Amino acid sequence: METIIHVGVHKTGTTWLQQCVFPKLKGVLYFYKDELVDYKPYDKILMSNEEWSRSMPDRENQLYPLCELKKQYPQAKIIIGIRNENTWFKSCYSQLIRAGSYLSWEQYQQKYKDCRTPIVFYYYCKMMWKDVYVYKFEELKSNPDKIIKEMCEFIGCEVPDQIENKKVNVSIKHLKLWRAINILMRGEWLRKHIESPWWILTWLHRRLKK
């Protein structure tokens, strides 16, 4: 039985692949973050969890999960996404503000200036495994049909008939405003005990959009 592992990286279209593409692959048993999504006849196993790359700049022990995966699945086929470093770093900062942080952009850049970037995780995967498929986030956005076709060829399955091209992650705008809200509402404390101010204040709006 063949095992395929999608390891991320964060902010490279992982949520869309996990929700809109992977569950529709025929002949593939799909696990999303270790949970079985749908049981069906299969001859391949696909597992997806971006935390295996731990690629967000604020993560610790970033390479440990990949090393553990290598021990458990030395012959697996690996799928990994990469992205322009500048836009990736800004997207990571936006995610941090959404989680309740009030670091300024300048403070964030200084604090994580030595962080590992998506291309670094790709090279580590290339060193650990023989079969690695890499896609570019920018190309996934501009030409998703091409990337899905290549990905299915790599997995060894048919291309799904219909893929819903919807936006699954709501981007956060007006970062300075949300940072100010985080400061006023003690966003980091609130997130640890309940939820971040962003998720609380935008809950109804996000529900209505769905």
Alpha-carbon gap, residue 102 to 165, rounded angstroms: 33
Tens of pLDDT, residues 57-77: 998 888 999 999 999 999 999
Domain assignment present for residue 18? The answer is yes
Domain assignment present for residue 70? The answer is yes
Residue carrying the six token digits 């390479």: 63
Domain assignment present for residue 179? The answer is no
* pTM of the complete model: 0.89
- How many domains does the chain contain in total? 1
CATH of the domain at 62: 3.40.50.300
Cis peptide before 21 (omega within 30 of 0): no
Alpha-carbon gap, residue 132 to 145, rounded angstroms: 19
Host domain of residue 41: 2-87+116-161
Q: Which tokens in the block code for residue 181?
A: 């809200």
User: Which pLDDT band, with edges at 50, 70 and 90, does 172 fall under?
Assistant: confident
C-alpha dihedral (170, 113, 139, 23), degrees to nearest 10:
-50
